[in-house]
Amino acid sequence: MRLELEKRSEHSTFYSIASPFIAIGLTLIFGAILFAVIGKDPAEALYIYFVSPLTSTWSLHELAVKSAPLILIGAGLSLCFLSSNWNIGAEGQFVMGAVFGSMMPIVFPDVQNTFVLPLMIIMGMAGGAAYAFIPAFLKTRFGTNEILTSLMLVYVAQLFLDWLVRGPWRNPEGFNFPESRTFHEYAILPEVLESGRAHYGAVFAVLAVIGLAVLLSKTLKGFEIQVAGQAPRAGRFGGFSAAKMTFFAFLLSGALAGLAGISEVSGAVQQLRPVVSPGYGFTAIIVAFLGRLNPIGVLFAGILLGISYLGGEEAQIVLGLSDKITRVFQGMLLFFVLACDTLILYRIRFVSTRTPALAMGEN
Amino acid sequence: METDTQTAKDPQAGDFERSGDLLLQAQGITKRFGEILANNNVSIDLRAGEIHALLGENGAGKSTLVKILYGALEPNDGALLWRGKPVAITSPAEARKLGIGMVFQHFSLFEALTVAENIALALPGKLSIRELSERIRKVSTDYGLELDPGAIVADLPVGIRQRVEIVRCLLQEPDLIIMDEPTSVLTPQETDQLFITLQRLTKEGCAILYISHRLEEVKQICHHATIMRHGEVVSECDPSKETPATLASMMVGAEIKDVRKPSAGAPGDERLVIERLSAPADGPFGVALRDVDLTIHAGEVVAIAGIAANGQGELFDLISGERLSALPESVRIDGQPVGRKGVNERRRAGAAFVPEERLGHGAVPGLKLSENIVLTRHGVNDGLVRAGFVNRSRAAELEKKIKKNYDVRMSHDDPEARSLSGGNLQKFVVGRELDRNPGVIVINQPTWGVDAGAAATIRQELIDLARAGSAVLVISQDLDEIFEVADRIAVISRGELSDAEPAESMTRERIGLLMGGITDAHTAQGGGAATHAA
């Protein structure tokens, strides 16, 4: 017996919807096995990991705080990946968004009025977009591989931030801690509800999802994105420019990552620190694929991955597990998502290795 | 299925005189791909000293059968016998060990390597390049297929590349050679040379399985023919006793309508003018175009003949605007210079284009047909786009209309482009453009890999469009097609285009000479000396 992949003549509608759920199911099964192997009760561990974050108002607010950047970045990346532009550097664009956006309250702390926050948000988006411009330019001008350049620029951005908060932007009243000054009240993204910490970043995320969903499914630009990703030669025949598409995809996903960055800093952290992201930009790659590169799908995928962050923290506290467990779960999830995507265009068949009549032929 | 096992066992069965030892027999071969039965209980027997034609339309199951015979596919059912003994051919290596060689339709040569190095890669055992070169020289002169073992493949014309494939196959001293469409890339002269080689091989007792769409050739050189349709063997015959028309109707299972070509009348206005169009090669294996001149008038069909990769693709890209030319005046549509304008502006000027590659160039495989209509028509004010939003119901309307008017067959409404058969997709891609009633249409390989029925329909539509006052430019490698549709014929060779001459005064022989780059007083001087630009 062996397995054979058989190509379908068209995409399977059923599996385009079912494949993320199959992937989640497989992740849960293998997660349970993992917990059992390290000697924890699988049922309890999975409950703590995936259910307990949903059981209190406090944790729901935390979930919104964690999911919002994932959704914002993931939605931008899904569009970028659909057009076959592989922006792996959203983490760097997130950081640069945070840095550019924080310029007002840190460099000009005396300017305090209602225009500061909108300006910060615009500068955050511009910072992310400008940072994403670099790999797009290198790709279109010199044909460099954007996966490498965008990824390497992440480390440049992280070290730049690290240098800023230890050097020129260090809080003069901060006892030499590597932190910027805390933001004044006009520079803080307000909370949405009285009941908790969730800030307007969550609203931005929902708006971005709706906007991109419309862009992708209804507009000529969305059509162009699909064509560029699936058949670049046909795109040229349709009169679409591949270079313009690369810039569009990188600038848009960079701007959204920058928006996520400034929202996180001005909403949740309220100052710059050496590290402002627990890897949102990378996790958002999983979010984009788990959401099947569809903005609405990304909304749910972002929430699920947000749960995995919270569950990971919970598991550290309650079960004494390493925080690496979160990474393991996210890795498994991405692996199964990509594997299950195969089902959309292929069906699996079991075939016997050789028909008996032919096998007998030798004598 | 009445023919198979009987004929296999008894050489005298049927109406045919067939001598020669049985070499390879396939009995009751069945191969399933999902729901599709690619081969259904197929039997064929190949004999020493015989050129055996395998005929059928695209999708009839020929390639599947050949892949099974060559060990590249495993059948679900059925048996293979080599010289009367059951064998299992599980890989091409095993097929070669038995003595089965194959010459592929698409070359499997490394362009950056020499002839000898390419051949060394395919031969078992270790032989020094010098010894091998000696053998190549000997075998190739023996069979009249002269080759220089030290030449780099990239520098060789297509006809010579095929020789490399054939010589590579001969060096393995096969008893059976499978040839898939060997003449599709050859000039008439090169084809004649190939036939001499084939006849010599059969005299030496070699068997040849010959797959071709060119029924004239089959009639001329094949001793026996097996005809397939929808995965089954429908009949066998002696092709020398048939006509191309009867062979074709056996393949299709119905009479094929003749293409009617009413006379063109006096030439109308100039609609498409290409003037002194030159362009450098766009890559190491691209072809540079040099001073191409061509004028197409309202009401006429002009065809460009030529062997593959002589600049047809480059010329198409430059006319369509996927690539811009240096001067605006180099390409003019209805007098309007468009050489520096993009493909959509040229479409707005009244032109339409159908590229050679259907999937991936003319259509996006994973998108629905209605979406593929948007691909080429979003820029021409068809009401498909309003304020940046795609009007999907309008696209669906057009899809239904094209499906009906151009007889595009599909399993359900508005499927993805990839699920259509080659002929149906081509009807759709052509229909999508004809539906706009274009003033100028440029079409590259209009019926490449399209079944005979659909091909006749498409050719008729092109002629009708021209007679209604449009200018039609057909780029094709199929001479039969060219003579069927063209009022005037030009030949492209190494990026240079000969003058377009009236079809009545053109002969196949003259086209063959022009294809080889031999020009005379009629054509512009300086041809033939063109080389690959770096």
B158-163: Cβ within 8 A, 24+ apart: B158/B185, B158/B186, B158/B307, B158/B308, B158/B309, B159/B185, B159/B186, B159/B187, B159/B190, B159/B307, B161/B107, B161/B109, B162/B103, B162/B107, B162/B186, B162/B194
B322 Cβ under 8 Å from any chain A Cβ:
yes
Residues of chain B with pLDDT under 70: 1-17, 34-35, 105-107, 518-534
Cβ atoms B516, B189 nearer than 8 A:
yes
Tokens of A74: 């993931």
- For CA atoms B318, B324, B326, B330, the dihedral sign is positive
pLDDT confidence of residue A363: 35
Cβ contacts below 8 Å, chain A against chain B, sum to: 100
A176 Cβ under 8 Å from any chain B Cβ:
no
B336-337/A346-351 β-pairing: unpaired
Cα separations in angstroms, B264 against B272, B297, B458, B485, B487: 17, 10, 18, 11, 7
Contacts of B288 (CB under 8 A, 6+ apart): B278, B279, B280, B281, B311, B314, B495, B530, B532, B533
Query: Cα–Cα distance between B518 and B317 in angstroms, integer?
Result: 26
CB distance B378–A223 less than 8 Å? Answer: yes
CB distance A221–B75 less than 8 Å? Answer: no
CA dihedral A235, A238, A242, A246 (to 10 degrees): -90
A360 Cβ under 8 Å from any chain B Cβ:
yes
Q: Is B236 helix (H, G, I), strand (E, B) or coil?
A: strand
Count CA atoms closer than 13 A to B237's CA, side-chain side: 19
CB distance A231–B365 less than 8 Å? Answer: yes
Cα separations in angstroms, B2 against B7, B137, B275: 9, 47, 59
Is residue B449, in this structure, part of any structural domain at all?
yes
Query: Cα–Cα distance between A152 and A146 in angstroms, integer?
Result: 10
Tally of CB atoms within 10 A around B494? 23
**Into how many domains does chain B fold?**
1
Residue B84 distance to chain A (closest CA, Å): 11
- Rg of the Cα atoms in chain B: 24
A213: chain B residues, CB-CB within 8 Å: none
Tokens of A348: 């699996």
CB distance B365–A11 less than 8 Å? Answer: no
Query: Cα–Cα distance between B58 and B40 in angstroms, integer?
Result: 16
For B159, left (φ over 0), alpha (ψ -120 to 50), or beta? alpha
Residue A229 distance to chain B (closest CA, Å): 10
Which of A220, A347, A354 has its CB closest to that of B378?
A220
Instruction: Give the residue carrying structure tokens 């080689």.
Output: B197
CB distance A357–B366 less than 8 Å? Answer: no
Mutate to test the interface with B, among A10, A341, A345 (most CBs of B within 10 A): A10
A243: chain B residues, CB-CB within 8 Å: none
B363: chain A residues, CB-CB within 8 Å: 234
Dump the DSSP string for B127-171: --HHHHHHHHHHHHHHTT----TTSBGGGS-HHHHHHHHHHHHHH
Query: Cα–Cα distance between B45 and A319 in angstroms, integer?
Result: 72
Query: Cα–Cα distance between B326 and B321 in angstroms, integer?
Result: 12
pLDDT confidence of residue A164: 95
Residue B381 distance to chain A (closest CA, Å): 13
Contacts of A322 (CB under 8 A, 6+ apart): A316
pLDDT confidence of residue B122: 78
B29: chain A residues, CB-CB within 8 Å: none
Query: Cα–Cα distance between B310 and B515 in angstroms, integer?
Result: 9
Q: Find the residue in A nearest to B76 (Cα).
A: A355
Q: Find the residue in A nearest to B384 (Cα).
A: A220
Cβ atoms B188, B512 nearer than 8 A:
yes
CA angle A257, A258, A261 (to 5 degrees): 90
A37 Cβ under 8 Å from any chain B Cβ:
no
pLDDT confidence of residue B518: 64
Residues B306-341 pLDDT 10s? 887 789 999 999 999 999 999 999 999 999 999 999
Residue A234 distance to chain B (closest CA, Å): 4
A211 Cβ under 8 Å from any chain B Cβ:
no
Considering the segment(s) A2-172+212-353 as one domain, its CATH architecture is Orthogonal Bundle (1.10)
pLDDT confidence of residue A359: 39
pLDDT confidence of residue A93: 98
A354: chain B residues, CB-CB within 8 Å: 74, 88
CA angle A341, A347, A353 (to 5 degrees): 125
- Which has the closest alpha carbon to B366: A158, A223, A361? A223
Residue range of the domain that includes B262 = 257-350+438-534
Which of A355, A359, A361 has its CB closest to that of B76?
A355
Is residue B485, in this structure, part of any structural domain at all?
yes
pLDDT in tens, chain A (363 residues): 677 777 787 788 888 888 888 998 999 999 999 889 988 889 998 898 888 888 889 889 999 999 999 999 999 999 999 999 999 999 999 999 999 999 999 999 999 999 999 999 999 999 999 999 999 999 999 999 999 999 999 999 999 999 999 999 999 888 888 999 999 999 999 998 888 888 999 999 999 999 999 999 999 999 999 999 999 999 999 999 999 999 999 999 999 999 999 999 999 889 999 999 989 999 999 999 989 899 999 999 999 899 988 888 888 888 888 878 878 888 888 889 888 888 888 888 776 655 444 433 333
pLDDT confidence of residue A357: 41
Tally of CB atoms within 10 A around B263? 6
CB distance A231–B79 less than 8 Å? Answer: no
pLDDT confidence of residue A352: 65
Tokens of A148: 């490498």
CB distance B33–A6 less than 8 Å? Answer: yes
- Which has the closest alpha carbon to A88: A289, A234, A361, A299? A289
A223 Cβ under 8 Å from any chain B Cβ:
yes
CB distance B88–A234 less than 8 Å? Answer: no
H-state helical runs in B20-81: 62-69
Is residue B513, in this structure, part of any structural domain at all?
yes
Residue A207 distance to chain B (closest CA, Å): 19
A194 Cβ under 8 Å from any chain B Cβ:
no
B270-279/B331-333 β-pairing: antiparallel
Render the burial of B223-235: b for 16+ CB within 10 Å, e for the rest: bbbbbbbebbbbe
A143 Cβ under 8 Å from any chain B Cβ:
no
Instruction: Give the residue carrying structure tokens 């068949």.
Output: A349
Is residue B515, in this structure, part of any structural domain at all?
yes
- Which has the closest alpha carbon to B491: B449, B458, B534, B522? B522
Which run of H or of E encompasses B190?
helix B188-203
Which of B343, B355, B390 has its CB closest to that of A223?
B390
In total, chain A counts a number of residues equal to: 363
Query: Cα–Cα distance between B98 and B111 in angstroms, integer?
Result: 29
Phi, psi for A241 (deg, rounded to 5): -95, 125
- Residue B182 CA, chain-centre distance (Å), reads 10
Q: Find the residue in B nearest to A9 (Cα).
A: B419
A83: chain B residues, CB-CB within 8 Å: none
pLDDT confidence of residue B188: 80
Is residue B155, in this structure, part of any structural domain at all?
no
Tokens of B336: 């309007």
Mutate to test the interface with A, among B364, B368, B381, B385 (most CBs of A within 10 A): B364
